[in-house]
Chain A
Amino acid sequence: MSEIVFSGVGRMFRRDGREVPALDGIDLTVGEREFVAIVGPSGCGKTTCLRMVAGLEFPSQGEVKVGGAVVRAPGPDRAVVFQQFALFPWKTVAENIEFGLKSKGVANGARHETIARFVELMGLQGYENAFPHQLSGGMQQRVAIARAYALDPAVLLMDEPFGALDAQTRTVMQEELVRLARRNPRTVLFITHAVEEAVYLADRVVVMTRRPGRIREIIDVGSVRRSERWDRFERIEEVMDQASFVHLRTHIWKLLREQQQPNEH
């Protein structure tokens, strides 16, 4: 049971002594093993949505449930991959991956097996004893994804995980994430402002309005992906060439354009 349910979720922020709404009336269900991406203009509260599922922030109105229980605290059943990786700089690659396993009380032998498996899966062989600052951004994010996946979480929360990477690395990581998600499907909530990334990765794309963030439209990408058989293609650029892909992307772009401030043109 790992369904994520937002019901009537609102979030207020204090700014200059006044209560400002950041999110308003969010109703959204992310089904078991569904991959949902949220896109929206910056400041629309999409990261706040993710943080409320993680238990790092709490709604002012409504409630967020995971697996039927209201979220009250962070926990290893909901692993988070942060934009700035948030790897522990004083721990090696292996120790970073090990951290959550130790917190969960996984026995020594099983821990090392799991570490070895994810090191291999994410192509980190030979870097087990390196410190994060010795790795490139792309490698660091692989470690962060390995650290999250190693916990075998029911829910995976990704907050612009590729936002800090260069375009090429980003493409590689997107393809790898698709491969990983096919092999180990999880309930995923994925925050991004990159429309193509959202369409490429997600089953459904949620488009949000600018502040106060509301849901503008939810686009079912999964049905198009299945009917157009995007899975035939290994590479992201082949998928992005499909008329069906372009159509969806343009549609979402238009929705986001509506949200732009007049002075942003």
Chain B
Amino acid sequence: MLSLAGFASLFVAWQAIASSGLVPAPFLPAPLAVAQRFAELTQRPFVGYTIQQHLASSVLRYLLGFGLAAAIGVPLGLAMGWFRWLDEIVSPLFEAVRFVAPIAWVPFAALWFGTGVGGPTLVIFMGAFPPALVNAYRGARFVEPRYIEAAQTLGAGSWRVITQVLLPASVPSIVAGLRISAGLGWQSLVGAELIVASSGIGYLMVKGQSNISTATVMSGMIAIGAVGFAIDAMLRRAEAAIHARRGR
């Protein structure tokens, strides 16, 4: 309820400032103008595609980049939590690379994988990978030793310890990490599309900007926010479902 009130007051303030005439319309388009533009973008293609199509191509890249980050980061993190030697090989490399902002990969991403799907996907991957890996690793390292010992005395080898003990015991930590990954990945995606891409929401915004259509830019921002919110809401529900199943 309170969050709705927050949205409503933001909306009212926005409308008040826009209609006061203090700020010229191109600087801050009024909410109604944005809504109109948004509706228009869903009907008529802008720089090649409708806003849904731009969104679809963004989401495709995002799913690829985030999916790869989760598919590599989680198993690698768990394995690093179990095999000390792997930890010692990977950790220094990882620490050196993780502080490079995902956007900094844009030039190489474009060079290596082009501006279509590959380039932006790499940038998302770079944003989403570290939290996926770190949380799986931490989860695995902090599993209560008695579960690991129980598994070992029951004859489990490394594979079964990782898949049957470290993985399930780390699920809360992994899901928390994936939520951060999802957010960072989505932010990186839009950043990447602002620079390299020939479609997508970020691309739509850049083109809107060069056409001095701030309502288009604003429409893009709203689409980004809405999708980001939806992604987080889904992951939050998944997290809650997992906790409920475990009776906590």
| Complex contacts, A80 vs chain B, CB 8 Å | 149-150, 153
Asked whether B157 is an interface residue with its Cβ less than 8 Å from the other chain, the reply is yes
Q: Which of A73, A91, A100, A103 has the most CB of B within 10 A?
A: A103
With an 8 Å Cβ cutoff, the count of chain B residues facing the other chain is 19
Interface of B is mostly: helix
> Can you report 10 A-B residue pairs in the complex whose CB atoms are below 8 A from each other?
A56-B149, A73-B152, A79-B153, A86-B150, A90-B168, A90-B169, A91-B168, A100-B156, A147-B154, A151-B155
Interface secondary structure of A, over-half rule: loop
> For the complex, what is the distance from the CA of A103 to the CA of B158, rounded to whole Å?
11
In the complex, the answer to whether B155 meets A134 with C-beta atoms within 8 Å is no
List B contacts of A56 (CB < 8 A).
149, 152-153
CA distance A221 to B137 in the complex (A): 50
A130 vs B147: C-alpha distance when bound (angstroms): 19
Complex Cα spacing A79 to B151, Å: 10
Whether B151 contacts A78 by the Cβ 8 Å rule is no
> Within 8 Å of chain B (Cβ to Cβ): is A82?
yes
Question: In the complex, A79 Cα to B152 Cα: how many Å?
Answer: 10
CA distance A6 to B176 in the complex (A): 47
Query: A82 vs B150: C-alpha distance in the bound complex, in angstroms?
Result: 8
Given contacts A80-B153, A103-B151, A103-B156, 10 further A-B contacts (CB under 8 A): A75-B153, A76-B153, A78-B153, A82-B146, A82-B149, A86-B147, A86-B149, A87-B150, A91-B168, A134-B247
Interfacial chain A residues near B246, Cβ < 8 Å = 89-90, 131, 133
A55 to B157, CA, bound (A): 14
Say how far A98's CB is from chain B's closest CB, in angstroms: 10
Q: Which of A90, A100, A147 has the most CB of B within 10 A?
A: A90
Are B153 and A88 closer than 8 Å at their CB atoms?
Answer: no
State A216–B146 Cα separation when bound (angstroms): 30
Q: Which of B204-248 contact A (CB under 8 A)?
A: 246-247
B146/A99 in contact, CB under 8 A? no
Tell me whether A74 and B247 are in contact (CB under 8 A): no
Q: A86-B146, A86-B147, A90-B169 are in contact. Are A54 and B153 (CB under 8 A)?
A: yes
Query: CB within 8 A of B154: which of A73, A100, A134?
Result: A100
The interface residues of chain A lying within 8 Å CB-to-CB of B154 are: 76, 79, 99-100, 103, 147, 151
